[in-house]
Chains A and B, each alone.
Chain A
Amino acid sequence: MLGNIKHIARKEIYHILRDPRSLVIVFAMPVMMTFLYGFAVNLDIERITLAIIDYDQTPSSRALVDDFYNSTYFDRPDKEIDSWNPEEALKAQDAAGVLTIRHGFGEALERGDEFALGLMIDGSDNLLGAAVNAYSNGVLLKFLQDRLPPDFELPGITISQQVLYNPDLKSSHFFVPAIVAIILIMISALLTSVTIAREKETGTMEQLLVAPVLPREILIGKILPYIVIAFIDGMLVLLFAKLVFGVPIVGSLFVLAIFTMVYVATSLSIGILISSLVQTQQVAMMFALVTTLLPSIMLSGFIFPIKNMPTVLQVISHIVPARYFIDATRGILLKGTGFVLLLPQLGALLALMLVLLVVAGKKFKARIG
């Protein structure tokens, strides 16, 4: 049994090393995809174009304008804004907002009078609109604080806000673990889905089944080398995420490694199951993509919180491996969650893997028809 598994595994390694295409899938694709997705899926809003119309034209108003544009949040529009028709700027998408400083701003500031600035926001992109509003208030508050005497206290109650774990609220820190999960499950399932289908296509499976080899030996022998490869891949992608996106690794590297290993093994099992069901490589690849990509994006909590889904989808999300891996990696990377707290996720992944492999073993018979 072990001897056969060893030889099947070794033969698989030859196949991988001698096929440049599989090497590309294995090593170039994950890194490329992390790079692309990491940058594409960026929800941090910076450098918003904001038009400012200054009717006041006092040193104070000019200082405020400078404060706005010197912050990282706002940029000047490329085009001159028609101050009589500021709305046109929003319609033409030359700016996401228009701030109007009416005459009397400087005077009001010196006297401490109440004064309102006008802010016109493009609400068609609600995220961007909210950002313009929040950032503008922030810049204004800072501007006022700088001009108050040191002993002067802001009256009233203020909310002290503190953000834990992702202090900059960087979306990349939140997304990258999920992207790692999606890339790994896709690559892993693709890799194994074609291995058995390829042998069916070329006829080598027939030759192999005429030999006294057990189906489970073939399955295990085929999956083993890929566990190693996909694990290296996982580590590579995580390292890349750290270097390029600055995702912190707060928790234990060892726990992270265990999770990555179990997760890729589960993903490879999906590919093995697909491969034992279909006859051609093309169909196998299609199935591998469909069964991994979409559920991992939609049902894993990557973009949509699982709690807000309809009950049916919540139930289905339990068989999506990415869900558990994303949970675990977000915990390990950002919060330093320990092994014990993540045991349910680990157990779920192992259970899924076991079910997949048993079904694959049942479906993959030592016969061809």
Chain B
Amino acid sequence: MTPVVELDNLTRRFGSFTAVDSISLTVDEGEIFGFLGANGAGKTTAIRMLCGLLLPSAGTGRVAGFDVLTESEKIKKSIGYMSQKFSLYPDLTGRENMHFYGAAYGLTTSRVKERIGALSDRLDLGSFIDRRSGSLPIGWRQRLALSVSLLHEPKILFLDEPTGGVDPVFRRRFWNILYQLASEGVTIFVTTHYMDEAEYCGRISIMHRGRIIVRGEPARLVREHGSDSLEDLFIDLIKERDINAR
């Protein structure tokens, strides 16, 4: 397996606060990697560095074979990104959003049309695609946002809490799509708060105060720590750390 994400002691400081504290990890092609952690643990900061939105303060990282410090423009072409905040233009329809972002990725108009056809079949967008995206229910918005991030057929998909606020039925369908993508060789790097979702991931890492405290296959981690479930493991680990910190 070829690693498509490799981080070596990646660090980001904001003034005296260290949001991400020398994290190292590798993610292989076609893997679904779960990036877990409490709020404020540094997940979003880490993802932003991987997408070229933030410069690391120290350490190195390669995404899709390109250096995060010097080749962020090349990285941008090979990744898709969906942030936790709905980030499409609410006053544009889904189709208009897709045309705009498609053009931003350098796709021709006819190619964008092809992709819109393929993605709207795949994600079952139907007539929602022609409504102003701001008026859509949240589940549809997230699907639309996912289809926008897939327009240029990225090799790696970074999803920052993609299913926040979405109902369980929608979440299940969302994950089915992610599985399909992974089986086609797309690497998926996803942060989540939902432990059932974490169990769907091939491997996970749990972040706490800017550091990765454990990593591995979810089932094995639960077994090794003698926890009842991933949720217990998560809570125990974080409690343990907080007590030690005092």
**B69-95, CB < 8 A from A:** 72-73, 76-77, 79, 81, 83, 85-92
Question: What 0/1 pattern do residues 278 to 289 of A give for CB contact below 8 A with B?
Answer: 000000000000
CB-CB < 8 A to A14: which residues of B? 89, 91-92, 96
A6: nearest chain-B partner, CB-CB: B103
Q: List 27 A-B contacts (CB under 8 A).
A: A4-B104, A4-B106, A10-B100, A11-B92, A14-B96, A202-B85, A203-B83, A203-B86, A204-B88, A204-B89, A206-B85, A207-B81, A207-B88, A207-B101, A208-B104, A209-B53, A210-B53, A210-B76, A210-B79, A211-B76, A211-B104, A212-B73, A212-B77, A213-B104, A366-B72, A369-B48, A369-B54
In the assembled complex, which residues on chain A have CB atoms less than 8 Å from the CB atom of B53? 206, 209-210, 367-369
Q: How far, in whole Å, are A4 and B89 apart by their CA atoms in the complex? A: 17
Q: Does A3 contact B (CB under 8 A)?
A: yes
Q: Give A207 to B52 CA distance when docked, in angstroms.
A: 11
> Is A15 among interface residues, defined by CB-CB distance under 8 A?
yes
Given known contacts A210-B79, A211-B76, A368 and B54 CB-to-CB distance under 8 angstroms: yes
Q: Which residues of A contact B73 (CB under 8 A)?
A: 212, 366
**Given A15-B91, A202-B87, A203-B85, A210 contacting B52 (CB threshold 8 A):** yes
**CB distance B87 to A203 under 8 Å?**
yes
In the complex, chain B residues whose CB is within 8 Å of the CB of A3: 103, 106
B77 contacts A18, C-beta separation under 8 Å: no
Residue of B nearest to A211 (CB): B104
Told that A4-B104, A206-B87, A211-B104 touch, could you supply 10 new A-B pairs with CB distance under 8 A?
A4-B106, A7-B103, A8-B104, A11-B89, A18-B91, A202-B87, A204-B88, A210-B51, A212-B73, A367-B54
- Is A19 in contact with B91, judged by CB distance below 8 angstroms? yes
Residues of A within 8 A of B (CB): 3-4, 6-8, 10-11, 14-15, 18-19, 202-204, 206-213, 366-369
Please report which residues of chain B, range 168-191, place their CB below 8 angstroms from some CB of chain A when the two chains form the complex. none
What is the minimal beta-carbon distance from B15 to any residue of chain A, in angstroms? 11
B105 contacts partner chain A, Cβ-Cβ < 8 Å: yes
Contact in complex: A4, B87 (CB < 8 Å): no
Chain A residue numbers with a CB within 8 Å of B99 are 7
CA distance A4 to B108 in the complex (A): 11
Q: Are B89 and A212 in contact (CB under 8 A)?
A: no
- Which of A6, A204, A208 neighbours the largest number of chain B CB atoms within 10 Å of its CB? A204
Q: In this assembly, does B138 line the interface, its C-beta being within 8 Å of a C-beta of chain A?
A: no
Q: Which residues on the A side are within 8 Å of B100 (C-beta)?
A: 7, 10-11
Give chain A residues whose Cβ lies under 8 Å from the Cβ of B88: 204, 207
In Å, the complex CA distance between A296 and B148 comes to 44
Name the residue of chain A whose CB is nearest to the CB of B152.
A211
Known A11-B92, A11-B100, A367-B54; judge A212-B105 contact (CB<8 A).
Answer: yes
Chain B residues whose C-beta falls within 8 Å of the C-beta of A203 in the assembled complex: 83, 85-87
Which A residues lie within 8 Å of B76 (CB)?
210-212
CB contacts (< 8 Å) of B17 on chain A: these are: none
Note all chain A residues with C-beta closer than 8 A to B103.
3-4, 6-7
Contacts of A367 in B (CB 8 A): 52-55
Chain A residue contacts of B104, Cβ below 8 A = 4, 7-8, 208, 211-213
Task: Report whether A211 and B90 are in contact in the complex, using a CB–CB cutoff of 8 Å.
Answer: no
Give Cα A15–Cα B106 distance, bound, in whole angstroms.
22
Bound Cα distance A264, B137 (Å): 40
CA A253 – CA B48 in complex, angstroms? 52
* Residue from A4, A10, A202, A369 in contact with B90 in the complex, judged by beta carbons closer than 8 Å: A202
Select from chain A the residue with minimum beta-carbon distance to B99: A7
For A3, the closest partner residue in chain B by CB is B103
Complex: how many Å from CA A7 to CA B99? 9
B92 to chain A, nearest CB (A): 6
Chain A residues whose C-beta falls within 8 Å of the C-beta of B81 in the assembled complex: 207, 210
Residues of B within 8 A of A206 (CB): 53, 83, 85, 87
Distance in Å: Cβ of B19 to nearest Cβ of chain A: 10
Distance in angstroms from A217 CB to nearest chain B CB is 9
Q: Which residues of B contact A207 (CB under 8 A)?
A: 81, 83, 87-88, 101, 148
Task: State the CA gap A7–B112 with chains docked (Å).
Answer: 13
Output the least CB separation between B141 and chain A (Å): 12
Residues from chain B with a CB closer than 8 A to the CB of A204 are 87-89
A132 vs B181: C-alpha distance when bound (angstroms): 87
Chain A residues within 8 Å of B77, by CB: 212
Q: List the 7 closest A-B pairs by CB distance, nearest first.
A: A203-B85, A7-B103, A207-B87, A211-B104, A203-B87, A210-B81, A212-B76
- Chain A contacts of B79 at CB under 8 A? 210
The reply to whether A368 and B86 form a contact with Cβ atoms under 8 Å apart is no
Nearest Cβ on chain B to A21's Cβ, whole angstroms = 11
Nearest chain A residue, comparing its CB with the CB of B91: A18
Which residues of chain B are within 8 angstroms of A213 by Cβ–Cβ distance?
104
Chain B stretch 31-56: residues in CB contact (< 8 A) with chain A = 48, 51-55
Nearest chain A residue, comparing its CB with the CB of B108? A3
Q: Are B101 and A211 in contact (CB under 8 A)?
A: yes
In Å, the complex CA distance between A286 and B148 comes to 34
Q: Which residues of B contact A4 (CB under 8 A)?
A: 103-104, 106
Mask: chain B, 58-74; 1 = CB below 8 Å from A; 0 = not: 00000000000000110
